[in-house]
Amino acid sequence: MDFKFSTEEEAFRREVKGWLKEAIPPRWRELPTGFWQETEESWKISRQFQKNLGMKGWLAPAYPAEYGGAGLGHIKRLILAEELTYHDAPVSIETEITVNWVGMALQHFGSEQQKQDFIPRIAKGDIIFCLGYSEPNAGSDLASLQTRAVEQGDNYVINGQKIWCSYAHYADYCWLGAVTDPDLPKHRNMSMFVVDMKNPGITIRPLINVIGCHSFNEVFFDDVRTPKDSLVGVKNNGWFQLAMALDFERSGVQTAAANKLLLDHMVNYAKTNKRGGKLLSKDPILRNLMAEMAIEIEVARMLCYRIAWIYSKGGHSNYESSQAMIFGSELLRRISDAGMRVLGQYGQLAFGSHRAVERAMMFRSYLASLSIGVGGGTNEIQRNIIAMRGLGLPRK
Amino acid sequence: MDLGLNEEQEMLKKSAREFLSKECPKKLVRELDESDSGLSRELWKKMAELGWIGLPFPEKYGGNGGTLLDLIVLLDEMGYNIVPGPFFSTVVLAGFTLLQAGSEEQKQTYLTKICSGDMIMTFAITELDGTYLPESIETMAEAKGEQYILKGTKLFVPDANIADFLLVAARTGKSTNPADAISIFLVDAKSAGVKVTLLKTLGRDKLCEVVFENVKIPSKNLVGKLNGGWPVIRSILRKATVAKCAEMVGGAQASLDMAVSYAKERVQFGRPIGSFQAIQHYCANMVTDVDGSRFITYKAAWTESEGLPADMEVSMAKAWTSEAYKRVAVLAHQIFGAIGFTMDHDMHLYFRRAKAGELAYGDADFHREIVAAQLGL
Amino acid sequence: MDFRFSEAEKRFRAEVEEFILQEIPPGYADKDLYWPGGYGAIGEFEVRDPAVEKIRKKMGERGWLTMAWPREYGGGGRSFVEQAIFFERLSYYDAPGMDVSTLISGPTILRFGSEELKKEWIPRIVRGDLKFWLAYSEPNAGSDLAAIQARATIDGDDLIVNGQKIWSSGAHVSDCGWMVARTDMAAPPYKGTTLFIVDNKSPGITIRPIVNIDGFHSFNEVFFDNVRVPKKNVVGDMNMGFYYLMVALDFERLVISMGGFRHRYEDLLNYARNTRRNGRLLSEDARVRARLSQLAIEIEIAYLLYYKTAWMMDNNLFPNIEASEIKLITTLLSRKLADAGMEIMGQQAQLWPGSPHAPLRGRFAVGYLDSISAVIGAGTSEIQRNILAQRGLGLKRR
């Protein structure tokens, strides 16, 4: 065992940190940034930033160089992801979706033509995907999706409704799951498509989230024609591909880094603010609370590091991704709650309010963390995965 | 022992539930949440006509002659439905202070107007550090002839943006014990030198910063004894604390009811999600938190209402309810999944208020320490 | 609303207290290691103490063992609030007196038993002559009680019983088992199970001790090998046993050692007020204060639910939700109290009873282990949550 980073890895971390100092535009530091909190202005900044990242090969660092990636190893990717999040760089869920979900799946299942067409553009930050998975009646029970894709000449004709499509209003393409053979049983009836969002027949309706931002959408498909070759992989094999995609490396280290950012904020606040005439950092209850949070962050980091380590040894994570995801995401809730306790009355002040603290970072995280454990598979579903896949408990 | 509500209270509860669901629909709640004033004059007038604003005040001031406990029953329902507006500030903070410490003339002048719905009032207690401790009050009122000159900054003052008058806690002398030199003043919100800034908050309640720049107050606007303000404030804070608990209990109950009915309707994997044990156990935890909060709050309210020593009971209720409501709201969100994370859904209205309620009149940490002291630790 | 006891209730409370302090054998409470909510350190499940028997009989004479029963059956005709007061005081002083016979069997016989059955058993139960043990759980029927396999077949005037029971608290010191067995294997369990009383002296019964993690013998395995039970011992109708069992759950609502929680809490509070660590009283440590404060709040909530349940029963309201809540809350409290005690007492906390320096006679160390049984015995916390969700909130089973 060796918990140290190598000299080379440490040097890489310094390089990333150094680059970030210059690369993040000052205006970004004045905006209410964070996941689910994008505005027109912040979106523009992050798109440009992602292109800059792409030029360094750091937007899709895992991709081979021929596709525009940096071909970085697992540990360096972990370091990069950690530093990007910890420095609140303009990358967020859209990058995760496009690069790590869609791009990875395309590399595994896409045709050569599809790879040539999409992967370099993804790696350069030129295109953004939204996910077309959930439907009003297919949430945790994704297998119940009803959107249909019917073959007609050279096309598939798509009809149906998707929901919770993050950034669909910005997206160039939709990574869509649709039923291609309704006569087959669930889990064997669905195929994956890349659908151009400029297609006629697509209607996007915004859903405003609790933070008051437009991040989600309902997307309606009304006789949308998409060429046959936009089907990815094997017809009716979508579920298998989806299940395989769960095995793609996903360390979740971003959440751990986000947690650290929040902890630093509350520690700093406690060291510089008084309540009842006493520095908050001298309050034994709050000290204890912050110490607990620091310990939990360390545990969360180790759970994430373990995943990168497993992959660096050529292994695959099984339940470990679910585990890191649950721990890190629930920790984000606990940290936000702890931060609100430390900030006291000031915690409730919104961005833009008179006397708000640090761009109301804690406030926004407190609200945003409500989505935690809901999106991308609820924590109940993740726990099922840990119990069944990880511990071998029977389903029934 | 009688652990139930009496007939009038049951009636009040029932009629409040009906009235509010009709007259204060969530559409109005949202409008008021998003507005700067947070006030619907129309609803305010109707509540005055129903006798709600004067509920706990004597009939000779136009009140309804009810008890604190009656008010608690009503606030429970107001929390259940969510009723934005200055009811809490006007009735609990200001009304009770005037009733307890005001001169007969002040009561006749101001309390009467409060009861009739013609005056909105609040109490500016907290300052920059946001705590409810006497040492945190630094605003000064200096006697100058027939006047006091008020200087200082109050923060997190509810509804100051629409109040006609403000009660203000200010320091009126020097003392070794910081509680010994605090007095309460009635300040006309239109006085020169009063500057109110509305804060944007998580709860979307209307908390304000109020700056007093050499505001002149006539001496007759002193409420209660000079330097005798703190015991009054403590007593009012106790009432406000338990009253806030009642609102929170109502909100927690509504969160539970909403989540349970959704769990019964929402079908996934071919069955209602409420039939899954994970969800059932969430619901079981929620109902236990709701009922625990309700009983401990009503015990505290009854104790205070009877005029018995209630410091321990009230702090127990607030320490528990602050955390319980939050737990319930978070679990309810978990049951609603993504739909609950949207602005159009009602759940976040409760989640926001759970946090705002927790912060008001001392959070769990603050009240646990009071309980510890009461336990003789 | 009025949260105070009435004058009559206050007088009764004082009377109970006086009785306990007078009658409890000297030194009894000093030996007792009972942990509230737990099942492993209950003295009455371990030995049959003649002194305890004597107290129980005296309580019987006053009608206290069955105080909420109707007078015509030897009950005390008292309210459930009074009964709650009685149990609270009893458990506060670690006094003996609760038994399956008076808490579960008696009320079930009164509700469903024949006149003959009542005549035979009720007077003896009222007097405190009998001790019963619960013969419910089996190796393959724990949370899923419907899976019991013990069988009883009719043979003339007798039932012939075969099978095995487990976790039978106090079976070795009791007179009779309060037992369920399958009598119609073809029917579903809830239509093919019969409830009856089995005499411990019947030939064919073998009782084997199980030593629990506290190191005490309170549990047993009990084997039935062609044991004859007279048919007249059947409670109610044949094959209706499961239904009676479910109804009997309602009788157990107030079987909670409320006073035990308060007393142990007071022990801990006093310990914190009188013990110094690093030159400072524990009670001055902000974290200890917060911890004790939080416990006080949770105990207060449990008390409120406890009396609320009793009050509802007196007023013919159905405390379905409240009864499950109080069970859930107190079992969790059993763990929290032990855990808080262990943390506050630090190193010393691990000292077992009998060790020099063991604080509070090492009871918290016992409780720390024993509280594991609190969230398992008499329906695990998971089952309590199911009941609460299904019975209380109307969520569907499937």
CA-to-CA distance for A340 and C12, rounded, in angstroms?
Answer: 49
DSSP assignment, residue B201? B
Answer with the one of A107, A127, A147 that is the final residue of a domain: A127
* Strand residues in chain A grouped as ranges (E): 129-132, 148-152, 155-162, 173-179, 190-196, 202-208, 214-227, 231-232, 274-275, 278-279
Cα gap B227→B269, rounded to integer Å: 67
Residue A395 lies in a domain: no
Q: Is B198 on the interface with C (CB under 8 A)?
A: no
Which positions in chain A touch C285 (Cβ < 8 Å)?
284
What pLDDT sits at residue A289? 97
| Distance of alpha carbon B331 from alpha carbon B322, whole angstroms | 15
Task: Report the pLDDT value the prediction gives residue A320, as an integer from 0 to 100.
Answer: 86
Which class for C87: exposed (0-12), middle (13-18), buried (19 or more C-beta within 10 A)? buried
- pLDDT at residue C126, as a whole number: 94
Reading the block at residue C362, the tokens are 């090492």
The CATH number linked to A175 is 2.40.110.10
Q: Does the beta carbon of B365 lie under 8 angstroms from any beta carbon of chain A? A: yes
Residue A117, min C-alpha distance to chain C (Å): 48
B211: tokens are 């700056």
Residues 277-316 of A with CB under 8 A from C: 283-285, 288
Quick one: fold of C7-127? Butyryl-Coa Dehydrogenase, subunit A; domain 1 (1.10.540)
For chain B, domain boundaries: 7-119, 123-227, 231-374
One domain for residues A359 and A373: yes
A81 with A141, same domain?
no
Q: pLDDT (tens digit, 9 = 90+) per residue, B271-290? A: 999 999 999 999 999 999 99
Confidence at residue B177, expressed as pLDDT on a 0 to 100 scale: 96
| pLDDT computed for residue A247 by the predictor | 67
Is pLDDT at B300 greater than 80 in this prediction?
Answer: yes
Which pLDDT does position B303 carry in this prediction?
97
For A138-175, letters b (16+ CB in 10 Å) and e give bbbbbbebebbbeeeeeebbbbbbbbbbbbbbbbbbbb
Q: Residue A376: its pLDDT value, please?
A: 66
What's the average model confidence in pLDDT over B296-311?
96
Is residue A244 included in any domain, yes or no?
A: no
Are A281 and A369 contained in the same domain?
Answer: yes
Domain B231-374 has CATH 1.20.140.10: yes
Interface of A with B in 280-339 (CB under 8 A): 285-286, 333, 337
Chain B within 8 Å of C386 (Cβ-Cβ)?
yes
Residue C267 distance to chain B (closest CA, Å): 13
- Residue B273 in contact with residue B263, Cβ under 8 Å? yes
- Residue B234 confidence (pLDDT) above 80: yes
pLDDT on residue A283: 96
Chains touching B by CB (3 or more pairs below 8 Å): A, C
Q: Which ipTM was obtained for this model?
A: 0.89
* Residue ranges of chain C whose pLDDT lies below 70: none
In a domain, A309, yes or no: yes
C→A interface, C-beta within 8 Å: 285-287, 290
CB contact under 8 A, C290 and A283: no
In this structure, which topology does domain B123-227 adopt according to CATH? Answer: Butyryl-CoA Dehydrogenase, subunit A; domain 2 (2.40.110)
Q: Minimal Cα–Cα distance from A228 to chain C, Å?
A: 42
Judged against a pLDDT cut of 70, whether residue B334 lies above it is answered with yes
> How does pLDDT run across A344-385, given as a tens digit for each residue?
999 999 999 999 999 999 999 999 998 876 766 788 888 888
Cβ distance of B344 and A208 shorter than 8 Å: yes
Q: Judge: A276–B197 Cβ closer than 8 Å, yes or no.
A: no
If one counts the domains in chain A, the total is 3
CB C85 within 8 A of CB C73: no
Would you say residue A194 lies in a domain? yes
Chain A residue with CA closest to C284: the answer is: A284
Last residue of a domain, one of A177, A211, A235: A235
Query: Structural domain boundaries of chain C?
Result: 7-127, 132-239, 249-392
> Tokens 């943390």 correspond to what residue?
C343
The answer to whether residue A243 sits within a structural domain is no
CATH class of C249-392: mainly alpha
**How do the pLDDT tens digits run along chain A, 396 residues long?**
788 899 999 999 999 999 999 999 999 999 999 888 999 999 999 999 999 999 999 999 999 988 888 889 889 999 999 999 999 999 988 998 999 889 999 999 999 999 999 999 999 999 999 999 999 999 889 889 999 999 999 999 999 999 999 999 999 999 999 999 999 998 899 999 999 999 999 999 999 999 999 999 999 999 999 999 999 999 999 998 887 776 676 778 888 899 999 999 999 999 999 998 999 999 999 999 999 999 999 999 999 999 888 888 888 887 888 888 889 889 999 999 999 999 999 999 999 999 999 999 999 999 999 887 676 678 888 888 889 888 889 887
Judgement on whether residues A370 and A264 belong to the same structural domain of the protein: yes
Are A113 and A140 within one domain?
no
Q: Are residues A281 and A192 in the same domain?
A: no
pLDDT digits (tens, 9 = 90+) for C197-242: 999 999 999 999 999 999 999 999 999 999 999 999 999 999 999 9
Q: C162 vs chain B: nearest CA distance in angstroms?
A: 35
**Residue A360 pLDDT:** 96
Nearest CA to CA, how far is A378 from chain C (Å)?
A: 20
| Residue C315 at interface with chain B, using a CB cutoff of 8 Å | yes
Pick from B260, B280, B291: CB nearest C322: B291
Is C388 in contact with B283 (Cβ distance < 8 A)? Answer: yes
What does CATH list as the number for C132-239?
2.40.110.10
- A194 and A262 in a single domain? The answer is no
Q: Say yes or no: A122 and A134 in one domain.
A: no
Mutation to test the B interface, candidates A288, A348, A380, A393, most B Cβ within 10 Å: A348
Inter-chain contact C287–A288, Cβ cutoff 8 Å?
yes
Neighbors of chain A by Cβ distance (3+ pairs < 8 Å): B, C
Q: Which two tokens stand for residue A305?
A: 């590091």
Among candidate residues B239, B115, B102, the one with its CA nearest the CA of residue B167: B102
Kindly list the residues from chain A whose CB atom is less than 8 angstroms away from the CB atom of residue B338.
134, 139, 163-164, 216, 371, 374-375
Say yes or no: A355 contacts chain B, CB-CB below 8 A.
yes
**Mean predicted lDDT score pLDDT of chain B:** 97
A274 part of contact set with chain B, CB < 8 Å: yes
Topology of the domain covering B7-119: Butyryl-Coa Dehydrogenase, subunit A; domain 1 (1.10.540)
CATH number (domain holding residue A352): 1.20.140.10
Q: Report if residue A240 sits inside a domain.
A: no
- Nearest beta carbon to residue B283 from set C6, C294, C389: C389
Q: Which residues of C touch A285 (CB under 8 A)?
A: 286-287, 290
| Chain B closest-CA separation from residue A150 CA (Å) | 25
Q: SS3 string of B356-375? A: HHHHCCCCHHHHHHHHHHHC
Which structural domain range is residue A165 located in?
130-235
Size of interface B-C (CB pairs under 8 A): 143
Among chain A residues, CA nearest to C285? A284
Longest dimension (CA), chain B: 79
* pLDDT the model gives residue C233: 97
The answer to whether position A370 is within a domain reads yes
